[in-house]
Every structure is written in structure tokens, then in C-alpha cells.
Structure 1
Amino acid sequence: MSTSPVVEAARRRTFAIISHPDAGKTTLTENLLLAGGAIRAAGAVRARGENRRTRSDWMKIERERGISVSASVMTFDHDGLMFNLLDTPGHEDFSEDTYRTLTAADAAVMVLDAAKGIEPQTLKLFEVCRLRDIPIVTFINKMDREAQDPFALLDEIGSKLALDPAPLFWPAGSGGRFKGMLDLRTQKFQPYAKRGAEPDDGHPAAVAFGGNAVDRFLDPDERAELEEASMLVTEASKPFDPQAFLEGHMTPVFFGSALRHFGVDELLAGLGAYAPPPKAVAAAKSGEPTHVVPGDPEVTGFVFKVQANMDPNHR
């Protein structure tokens, strides 16, 4: 059964992932593909053997050096939506490819290393997004390692990026003390499985923070500390406003560990709920200014990248 172009366009979510090198961008890409059901096992950039075979880093130099050199596009259906994921190079030597790719994105996920915060290349790429009016979703990665204070990270986002950070989750500790995160909207606690478990085992199911079940994962002091922190952040932060996000004034903040596939499902759900579908784009037709609107009967495409003399499978 055919679907109208208007309906089909409305279910598209095209987003790029931007970050400083080694913040975990490509690992997050792999785990988003896993969360979306596009692959069965996520590769890891720093892993060995088959586990290192990431889908986005397909060039020989990328596999040898563990970095993204060329932008790549991956498409998958999930929860009734079609996601177009644009993985971009983080290293500044290949940033021109990233700038081109961002012309095709409707939203961006900014990945921050929880221990390092906003780094120089992240700041440069954010400015490109701002020039193009691309709304930003923030994912604070590597919470399973020692991290900065979450309040300090939010302050840095507000001061350096002039964005209002709106955390949708709040972490319980970091590094060896990382126990999971609290959904500030539903007051459910998502426990984190310690590093001894295999990633395929997954993480325990979320439990009500106000119930007794959470005592299996948090001791009384940790529970009281998380309760106090969640109250403080709720009072200090502006509530998440989807319209302010789309206008580029606010960024929803997610926490997790891409390597351990923690917080990735929540991030994907957030992208589906808040990232915008394709919008009308200014163009010229027969020399006259016009707009190309999603759902137009005429086929229109924007070519943002051309590859030559490479593997034909990637053309």
C-alpha cells in the first residue's frame, strides 16, 4: 500500500552526531543502530577482532586508526519512524566533511565526554549547527568512568554555548560508584549493570524511585543523595520546552555510557519524540526564489557529498 509523501516525510528523523575526537561518537552510533534493530551486535572502536568492525567506520584507515575519516549515513526503521543517522568525523583534519554533512541534518546529537566536558572541536561544530539553526540534543557519555560533577557540566553548557540545558535524567554517581539514572519526568530509576556483566545481558528493568524496589540498587545514602540532587536540578533548571529546543535556545540532556549500551534507548526515544521532521528549504526554480516543501509531488534532492574512486558498495 502506497504512503503519501506528506505522511512519509513526517516520520523521518535525520540527525548528525558531533563531538570532539574520542568522546565516543562512533561507539554511540553503533549502539543507536543496535537499539534501533538495524544490527545484532555493536562494534567498538577500541575493541579487537570482529568487535572492532563498526558499520560507520568502513575505510581501511578508519579501522586501523580507530577514528572516523569520512562521513557515513545509516538508515533504520524503529517505533514507526525512519531514522537517518549521519556519523561525522570528529578529528579537525577531516572537519570539512562534517561541515558538509551538517547541511543535510535536521537535528544534531552533541556527545560530551563526562570527564572532559565541552572540548574545542565540539565548540566549533556547535557553532556550525547554530549558524544553520540545527537543534541540539546533548548526550553526556562515559558515566561509567570518573566524571565531572553533573551540575558543573550543565553550567558549562549554559556558559560556553549560551544554551539552556534541560536534563531529562539525572545520574547516580559515576565511575565505580555509578548506579544508574533517574528519569526526572516519570520518577523511575534505571539501574546500571556493573562492568562484570556481559553487555548482551542488558541492564535491570526500571523501578519506581519512590518504592522499595530501588533499595536493591541504591543504599540509603545514595538514595538520599540522588533525591536531593534531583530536587535541586529541577528547581535550578528550566523545564524542557520542545519549542525552545526547536528554536535553538534549549538542549535536552541525556546521560549514559555508549560502550555499555546504557542510556542509548532513552536517547533514541528522545530523538523520536523531539527531533524535527524535514522542513521547508529555500531554493531557486527557474531563477526565482521558492521553497521546497516535504510532500511536494516533484522529486527533489540535495547532494551534500560525492565519493569517487572508493568501494562501489559505498557510492
Structure 2
Amino acid sequence: MIQSPAAEAARRRTFAIISHPDAGKTTLTETLLLSGGAIRAAGQVRARGENRRTRSDWMKIERERGISVSASVMTFDHQGLMFNLLDTPGHEDFSEDTYRTLTAADAAVMVLDAAKGIEPQTLKLFEVCRLRDIPIVTFINKMDREAQDPLELLDEIASKLVLNPAPLFWPAGSGGRFKGMLDLRSRLFQPFERSAVEREQAGHPSPVPGDGAAMDAYLTPEERDELLESVELVQGASPAFDPQSFLEGHMTPVFFGSALRRFGVEQLLDGLGAYAPPPRPVAALRADVETHVAPGDPEVSGFV
């Protein structure tokens, strides 16, 4: 069934991924494509052979150096929505391409290394997003490695970016002690499965109630108490997520996970579908008269 241009535009979510080099941007891109059903196997930047063949880094220099040097766009359907994923160069030598690409984004996913927090290139790209009023979704990556305290990471986002972080999930430990995360809205605990073999065969275990004995299969009593205490602390210190404040650029929803282990990425994709905006009217000049180009306009238009 052919939809009208306005209806088709309403189901689109066009977002860019911004980060400092080596924060896991390309790995997250591959895992999002896998979660969205666009590919059957995710490539890995640091892998060998066929496993290294990432879809976003297709140029020879990108595969040799393990970095993104050009922008690329990948499109996939997921749960009735069409996602346009804009992969941007992370290295500062190729940042001009990133700045151009952000003009086409309606939202951005800011990827942070859990051990390093906000790094210089992340800060530069965030400022570009702020100038263009692009709402930001935060994904704190590499939780399966040793990481900073999550509360310190939230403080860094608030102080360096002047952006209110609103975590939607909360991690249980990090590194070797990382056991999963608690959904702060549904109070369901999503266990983390470290074994790649078991994860490939059955995926991550199903969520379990986060306030009962079901968590005992995954957390020791001490770990459970530590998780619930930290959740109580962060909910008392952080504002509740407000979608309108997010769209206005004042707040960022925060997700945790491991792109390499494919953990937390489906939750991020669901969050993008629920909260990221569809295309919006854009200011333009038509015959020297100020006007707006609406997403549903039948005429083709472009930004030069």
C-alpha cells in the first residue's frame, strides 16, 4: 500500500552517531543493523578475515586503519518504522564530512566509552549538534570492561555539556562484575550473558522482575543490594525523563550496554523509535520569500 509523503515521513527516524575515535561507534552501527534485521552478521573493526568486513567502513583505507573516514547512510525497517542511520567519521582529520552529515540528522546518538567519558572530539561534535538543535540520545558503551562510576559519568554529562542526563536503565556493576541492567521504568532486570557461544545460540536471557527473588539467579545478595541502593540514589538525584525536554535539547536519555557483546543495543533502538523525532519542517527561501519546507511536500527539495 502506497502511503502519502506526509505519512511516510512520519515513520522515518534519521539519526547520526557521534563519538570520539575508538569509543565503539562503528561497532554500534553494525550491531544496530543486525538488531534491525538489515544484516545477518555484524562486522568488527578489530577482528580478522570476514568478521572485519563492516558495512559502514567500506573504503580500503577504512578497513586497513580501522577508522571511519567518510560518511555513509544505511536504511532498515524495524517495528513499522524506517531508520536512516548516518555513520560519520570519528577521527578529527575527517570531521568536515561529519559536520555536513549532521545537517541531515533529526537526532544523534552520542557514544561514550564507559572508562573514558566525554573526550575532545565528542565535545566538538556535541557543540555542532547543539548549534543545530539536534536532540541527543546517550549510549554508554563498553560496560563489560572496567568503567568509571555511572554516577560520575552522569555528572560529567551534566557539567561539561550542560545537559540533563536521564537514565532509562541502570547497570549492575562493570567489567568482570557486570551482570546486566535494570529498566527503571518497567523494573525488569535484563541479565548480561558473557559467553559468546551461548549468546549466539539463544540470545541474552529474558528479563526478570527486578524487585524479587528472580534476580538471585544472576546476582549475589550483595550485588542485588548494591544495585537497588544505587538505583534509589540515581532516581533521587536525576530528573525523570521528559520527552519534550529531550526534543528541545535540554535532556538526554541515557542507555548502557556493550555494542561488541550486542547488549543494550535493542533497548537503544527501541528508544530511538519511541523518542527520536521524525523529519520536521525546515526554514527555506523560495523566490526570496521566507518559507518552510514540510516533510510531506510533494516537490523534491535538497540542502546545498
TM-score, normalised with respect to structure 2: 0.98
Matched residue, 1:68: 68
Residues 265 and 196 of structure 1: CA distance in aligned 2, closer, same or farther (over 3 Å): closer
**Does structure 1 retain, via aligned residues, the 8 Å contact 2:196–2:261?**
no
Cα deviation, residue 196, structure 1: 5.4
Counterpart of 2:133, as a letter, is: D
Amino acid at match of 2:161: L
Q: Distance between the aligned counterparts of 2:199 and 2:22, measured in 1?
A: 20
Residue type matched to 1:208 in 2?
P
Query: Which residue is equivalent to 2:298?
Result: 297
Work out the CA distance in 2 between the residues paired with 1:196 and 1:222: 23
- What is the deviation of 1:46? 0.6
State the one-letter code of the partner of 2:10.
Answer: A
1:186 partnered with 2:159:
no
In 2, distance between residues paired with 1:211 and 1:160? 37
Deviation track 1:182-220 (CA, whole Å, cap 9, x = no partner) reads 000000000000245454232111100122221100010
Q: What's 2:11 paired with?
A: 11
In the TM superposition, residue 6 of structure 1 has moved relative to its aligned partner by: 1.1
SS in 1 for 2:55: coil
Structure 1 gaps of 5+ residues are: 304-315
Q: In the comparison of the two structures, how many residue pairs are matched?
A: 303
CA distance in 2: counterparts of 1:22 and 1:159, whole angstroms: 23
2:278 is the alignment partner of 1:277: yes
Counterpart in the other structure of 2:287: 286
Specify whether residues 53 and 196 from structure 1 end up closer, same or farther in structure 2 by C-alpha distance, changes over 3 A only.
Answer: closer
The runs of at least 4 consecutive aligned structure 1 residues that moved more than 3 Å come to 195-199
SS at match of 2:7: helix
Deviates further, 206-215 or 246-255: 206-215
1:13-66 CA-to-partner distances (Å, cap 9, x unmatched) read 000000000000000000000010000111111111100000000000000010
Secondary structure of 1:230's aligned partner? helix
8 A contact 1:5–1:295 mirrored in 2: yes
Q: What residue in structure 2 maps to residue 254 of structure 1? A: 255
Structure 1 segment 69-218 matched on structure 2, within 5 A: 69-195=69-195, 197=197, 199-201=199-201, 202-218=203-219
Q: Cα deviations across residues 267-299 of structure 1 (Å, max 9, x unaligned)?
A: 000000000000000111112111000111222
Q: Which residue of 1 is the match for residue 237 of structure 2?
A: 236
CA contact (8 A) 1:172 1:181 kept: yes
In structure 2, the residue corresponding to 1:267 is in which secondary structure?
A: helix
Q: Which runs of 5+ in 2 are unaligned?
A: none
Distance 2:74 2:294 in 1: 23
The answer as to whether partners of 2:187 and 2:209 remain within 8 angstroms in 1 is: yes
Q: Is the 8 A contact 1:199 1:261 kept in 2?
A: no
The 3-state SS of whatever aligns with 1:86 is strand
For residues 101 and 210 of structure 1, the distance between their equivalents in structure 2, rounded to whole angstroms, comes to 43
Q: Call closer, same or farther: CA 1:207–1:40 in 2, change over 3 Å.
A: same
- Percent of pairs with identical residues: 80
Check whether the contact 1:23–1:111 (CA below 8 A) recurs between aligned residues: yes
For 1:39, the equivalent position in structure 2 comes to 39
2:234 alignment partner, SS class: helix
TM-score normalised per structure 1:
0.95
CA distance, structure 1, for counterparts of residue 199 and residue 128 of structure 2: 35
Distance of 1:87 and 1:198 partners within structure 2 = 30
Distance 1:20 1:294 in 2: 32
In structure 1, distance between residues paired with 2:150 and 2:23: 16
Matched residue of 1:14: which SS? strand
Amino acid at match of 1:284: L
Q: Describe the SS at the equivalent of 2:290.
A: strand
Distance in 2 between the 1:262 and 1:2 partners? 36
